[in-house]
Structure 1
Amino acid sequence: MSRVLVLDKEQTRGGLDPGRVLDAVAAALVALSRGEVSAPPRIAAVAPAGLLGAMPAYVPGLGLAAKLVSVFATPGASGRSSHRGLVALFDHTDGRPLALLDAEPITAVRTAASATLSLRALAPDARRVAVIGTGVQASAQVALLAALHPALPVTVGARDGGRARALAATHPDASAASIEQAVRGANAVFCCTGATTPVFPRGWLGEGAHVSSVGGSHGHELDRDVIIDGTLFAEWPGAAAAAPPAGAYELQDVDPQRVTLLGAVLDGRHPGRVDRGGLTVFKSTGHGALDVAAASVVHAWARDQGVGTAVDL
């Protein structure tokens, strides 16, 4: 029998310190790029209205964990979806279960962290960014930018102006606009939607733009010409080499040799952006290694602060 620490949603969210999560996710991305992570491609059981994915991973120095997450479209709300589930953290030396955490805040924050790292690595001189979407992932992205880059102006672009204004109000220097206005005025664009068709055309992007796409769990979030024109980056090789739901819809007919791993840029083995006027694209599929990273941060915080309920399993 093991004593397992159980944290609810608010407790899990409370342990996701932005700086510590960013550092842990960076370490996981570097480990992925070096081939040091043990993780099978994500699998999923598909139900009529969504899917249930399984994502186990071991990351040296961070830990061993598995996530079960459901991704279901929001009824009556095109372009929005919910991600719910659990992250189970295990002792990597003897296999004991250590903690059960809420997957929703972990998924949102670790995904926002990887997108923010792509901004830092590929568009460090960006003067204005756009966040496209108003759901859970867009909210997490705006919150992380507010915590880590509060002086960087943000435009929230969405079809629903009221929701865009409400999200913009959570950031110290943000405004709301249409999707077109947000994209055309930005040096970097964060796509955080549940869209199944491209959110905007290539022509809306300015010279030297950077695009981070973390949505598209059910289809293409990015325009085909964005993929054709862009220098491509991803978390892991399977983003292009594996079929959905493990790989990205947008990268299925892309030569994997075109895709550079973001971790290789973060640790200096790849220069990242080589053409200041070119388009860079980070296409995120999510990866279990990032869940391990965020879960390790939450677990360490919970133990230090005495947070959570210990149960016998």
Structure 2
Amino acid sequence: MNDVLVLDRAATAAALDPHRLMAAVSEALVAVARGTVSAPPRTAAFAPGGLLGAMPGYVPGLGLAAKLVSVFADPARPGRSSHRGVVALFDPEDGRPLAFMDAEPVTAWRTAAAATHSALALARPGPVVVVGTGAQARAQVRLLAALRPTEPVTVAGRDPAAARALAALHPAGLAASLADAAESANGIETAVREAATVYCCTGATRPVLRRDWLAPGTHVSSVGGSHGPELDAGTVRDAALFAEWHGAADTPPPSGAHELQGLPEGRTVTLLGSVLSGEAPGRTSPDGLTVFKSTGHAALDVAAAYVVHRTALGHPPE
């Protein structure tokens, strides 16, 4: 195994080229929707303080990989959780290990890429809000800064200082307005009421977003909620629902989404990959509420691992 590439957290993060990642994640989402991905539902072993999840997957054209990731509450930061682990990339032709990389940036950035694709496909023009100040929110803000550096982004969270620090990761000129939003009496509600797109990136155990805060036509990309629902029942009830895979609604947590359990008969969940490929409609009404509920999917880890490996080896974009 002398030729196996081993990347620590910094090296993994440095190799996650945003534009290559967006292209690979789109390819993976479409493959999931078309049924060409091989990936069993996520499994997990539960410990007193958290869980260890296993996510293997194969995506044609991108590769074969598996992730082991632990999700544990962080006692030093109430309401937040850590995601630590490794991603192993294998040669899909002969099974040779090709690379081992840190799972935390892989998970955060591939999740942000999927959420961003949902907004690009489903959201109407208007103000963008990121709810949360942890690792996932940080990846989301960094990705938006790389892809759309001139588009203002408001950061809202329970900690105004953390929201200001995160807002500073976006291009200069946004910090003052972001600080004002974060320091309002209820920063999240105030910011969300004005939003066209809301990226909800929290470690919530109960809803942090409420239906009556959302204006007509709002799009919500909800990627948090490993330990409980991030969205309230009213938001789910009134929205057109989108997800990476049907298991988000058809399987129980931790593989499925808390918010999508027990949907009424007749409620449909459209796969985001089908929208990206043009095989299913996205937004059908300018005033309709849309929700992308992410649970993560092994195909997205494969996509990110593929990008990390090729970028680290100096291969040019396809």
TM-score bin, normalised by smaller chain: over 0.9
1:226 matched to 2:235? The reply is yes
State the Cα RMSD in Å. Answer: 1.2
Distance 1:256 1:215, change over 3 A: farther
Instruction: Give the corresponding residue for 1:310.
Output: none
1:162 matched to 2:161? The reply is yes
Give the counterpart letter for 2:169 in structure 1: T
Q: Is the 8 A contact 1:2 1:97 kept in 2?
A: no
Unaligned runs of 5+ in 1: 306-313
1:212 matched to 2:233? The reply is no
- The structural deviation recorded for 1:126 is 2.3
Instruction: Give the corresponding residue for 1:30.
Output: 30
Query: How many angstroms apart in 2 are the aligned matches of 1:76 and 1:203?
Result: 32
Instruction: Give the corresponding residue for 2:251.
Output: 242
Query: How many angstroms apart in 2 are the aligned matches of 1:304 and 1:195?
Result: 39
TM-score, normalising length from structure 2? 0.93
- Which aligned runs of 4 or more in structure 1 are off by greater than 3 angstroms? none
CA offsets 1:72-92 (integer angstroms, 9 cap, x no match): 111143321110100000000
1:1-313 equivalences under 5 Å are 3-123=3-123, 125-172=124-171, 173=174, 175-176=178-179, 177=182, 178-254=187-263, 255=265, 258-304=268-314
Give the counterpart letter for 2:257 in structure 1: A
Query: How many angstroms apart in 2 are the aligned matches of 1:94 and 1:69?
Result: 25
Give the counterpart letter for 2:291 in structure 1: V
Query: How many angstroms apart in 1 are the aligned matches of 2:168 and 2:14?
Result: 21
- The structural deviation recorded for 1:201 is 1.4
Identical amino acids, percent of aligned pairs: 66
SS in 2 for 1:189: strand
- The structural deviation recorded for 1:256 is 7.9
- The structural deviation recorded for 1:273 is 0.4
Give the counterpart letter for 1:225 in structure 2: G
Q: Is the 8 A contact 1:216 1:249 kept in 2?
A: yes
- The structural deviation recorded for 1:3 is 2.5
The count of corresponding residues between Structure 1 and Structure 2 is 304
- The structural deviation recorded for 1:185 is 1.3
Query: How many angstroms apart in 2 are the aligned matches of 1:201 and 1:117?
Result: 23
- The structural deviation recorded for 1:127 is 1.7
SS in 1 for 2:303: helix
TM-score, normalising length from structure 1? 0.95
CA offsets 1:167-194 (integer angstroms, 9 cap, x no match): 1111123513211111111111000000
- The structural deviation recorded for 1:105 is 0.4
